[in-house]
Amino acid sequence: VLIAVLVAFDGRLVAPVLLALAVTVAVAGRHSVVARWAAIGFTGVGSLMLQFYAPIFTLFEATPLPARIALPVLASAVLLAGCAVLSARSAPVADEDQRSLCWGIAAAVCIYAVTLFTVTAGVLIAGVDGGFLAGQMAATICWIVMAAALFAVAQNRRREDRAAPILGGLALTAAATTKLFLFDLGTLDGMFRVVAFIVVGLVLLGMGAGYARSLAGRGMREPSRVGPV
């Protein structure tokens, strides 16, 4: 199938087709170890093919892409994020540390895919000037929203299952804050910078308020350990 795809499809379509195959194999063969490794292989080859048309430097420099290339890149970004999550969920590993490592790699791939989607869509819609800045602003907002979603997932889980989403949320929060001050502050200008700082600040305040409320509710549910005097 891999050779057939490479031969039959145009170069710019190879990446989305392979990533779509990876998603299909990961879902259909989730109970098969061979199918899981096949999905990981399709994901790896599709990611390499994606780099030929959307190399990583396009995330840092405004690079115009024609629609015939930008549209497959957008589809590949969505499929790549799905492949990362599915591969981490069904990774053929038994050790808990290895599984945590798989989820960490999946989170990094999702961050890359989200940024690639927002920047490519921004440049395609609004050009290399305003579109690139809007895409970077949207990427930062998506990062912090993903962190908030992980914290919300952690609150709805049992205490022993909260470690992974909490660590992921903390890592995403740190990454979004670092990008905001080291990249966005020097790259974005005007309204894009203002919106990025306001939205990220509001989400951080909401996360802090939700954490404080959960602590208060937990304290009310726990019985007092102080005995009678």
Percentage of residues in the chain having pLDDT higher than 70: 88
Going by pLDDT thresholds of 50, 70 and 90, the confidence category of residue 223 is: low
Q: pLDDT per residue over 83-120, tens digit each?
A: 988 887 777 666 767 777 777 888 888 899 999 999 99
Quote the mean pLDDT of the chain: 84
Residue that wins the pLDDT comparison between 164 and 152: 152
Q: How confident is the model at residue 72 (pLDDT cuts 50, 70, 90)?
A: very high
Residue 173 has pLDDT above 80, yes or no: yes
Average pLDDT over residues 205-211: 82
User: Residue with structure tokens 């005007």?
Assistant: 190
Per-residue pLDDT tens over the stretch 25-51: 989 888 888 888 899 899 999 999 999
Q: pLDDT confidence of 207, banded at 50, 70, 90? A: confident
On the question of pLDDT at 122 being above 60, the answer is yes
Q: How confident is the model at residue 15 (pLDDT cuts 50, 70, 90)?
A: very high
- Give the CA count within 13 Å in the CB-facing half-sphere of 85: 10
Q: Which distant-in-sequence residues (6+ apart) come within 8 Å of 134 by Cβ? A: 122, 126, 192
Selection from 54-63, 115-124, 169-178 with the highest mean pLDDT: 115-124
Percent of the chain with pLDDT over 90: 33
- Pair 72, 12: CB distance under 8 Å: yes
Residue 145 and residue 169 in contact, taking contact as beta carbons nearer than 8 Å? no
